[in-house]
């Protein structure tokens, strides 16, 4: 049994490295896309498109990437359980706060452009996922950082873990549908620049693979 734990621990650690690489790659590709092809990033700009660009950057780099870090920090980094729990909750809180800023950016852009809010499948998935993410954090904090009884923690833990993994894939689904929505808009309006479509596709693949490797590292860590 001890040998099996060592094997799974090593595999989880190696897969974590792949998750980090794809996460960093996705951030780099996002920055190239937004800075080189899409006019830059600035929340307080008078240019609505620069305001909008805060949204995809923070929803991945702030929300999805940081929530993935929170999951891996708890399951794959050797440390005291109390330290793991604290870092897990803190990183999720940072992800949630940055996600709020990212959502505010897209609502601000819609107000500037006089566009309807929450009208697409991407926005429905995104708002639903983010709302459930906030609920998950509050329930997790009250249960595992509060003074809940051990029996209660044991009952909630499987749902908390399964819910976290489901929310990770839901957030990635929101990100990919968002990229598809943006690609369609740029293409239909004939403002898609040469090479931009391929860059967006590679960005989407990097985001997807980040989520896959985060989930694999967490799944293997349960056998440790």
> Residue 58's Cα: distance from chain center in Å?
9
Is it the case that residue 112 has pLDDT exceeding 90?
A: yes
Name the residue with tokens 């996600």: 99
**Helix (H/G/I), strand (E/B), else coil: 116:** coil
Mean pLDDT of all residues in 171-181: 97
Is it the case that residue 8 has pLDDT exceeding 60?
A: no
**Residues sharing a CB contact under 8 Å with residue 61, sequence separation 6 or more, in sequence order:** 27, 30, 98
Q: What angle do CA 25, 68, 16 make, to 5 degrees?
A: 70
Mean pLDDT of all residues in 140-154: 89
| Predicted confidence band of residue 2 (pLDDT cuts 50, 70, 90) | very low
Is it the case that residue 194 has pLDDT exceeding 80?
A: yes
Mean pLDDT of all residues in 151-156: 91
- The domain segmentation of the chain, as residue ranges, is 2-221
pLDDT in tens, 46-76: 999 999 999 999 999 999 999 999 999 887 7
Architecture per CATH, domain 2-221, reads as Up-down Bundle (1.20)
The pLDDT, as a whole number, for residue 4 is 47
Contact 9, 223 (CB under 8 A): no
């Amino acid at each position: 049994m001890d040998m099996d734990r060592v094997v799974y621990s090593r595999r989880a650690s190696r897969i974590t490295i792949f998750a980090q690489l794809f996460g960093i790659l996705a951030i780099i590709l996002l920055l190239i896309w937004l800075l080189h092809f899409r006019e830059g990033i600035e929340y307080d700009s008078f240019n609505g498109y620069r305001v909008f660009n805060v949204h995809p950057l923070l929803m991945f780099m702030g929300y999805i990437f940081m929530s993935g870090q929170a999951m891996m920090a708890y399951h794959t980094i050797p440390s005291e359980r109390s330290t793991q729990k604290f870092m897990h909750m803190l990183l999720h809180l940072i992800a949630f706060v940055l996600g709020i800023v990212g959502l505010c950016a897209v609502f601000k852009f819609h107000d500037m452009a006089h566009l309807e809010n929450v009208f697409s499948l991407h926005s429905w998935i995104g708002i639903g996922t983010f709302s459930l993410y906030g609920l998950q954090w509050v329930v997790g904090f009250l249960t595992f950082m509060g003074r809940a009884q051990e029996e209660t923690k044991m009952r909630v833990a499987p749902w908390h873990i399964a819910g976290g993994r489901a929310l990770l894939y839901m957030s990635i689904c929101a990100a990919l549908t968002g990229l598809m929505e943006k690609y369609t808009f740029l293409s239909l309006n004939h403002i898609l620049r040469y090479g931009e479509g391929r860059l967006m596709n590679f960005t989407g693949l990097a985001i997807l693979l980040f989520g896959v490797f985060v989930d694999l590292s967490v799944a293997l860590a349960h056998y440790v």
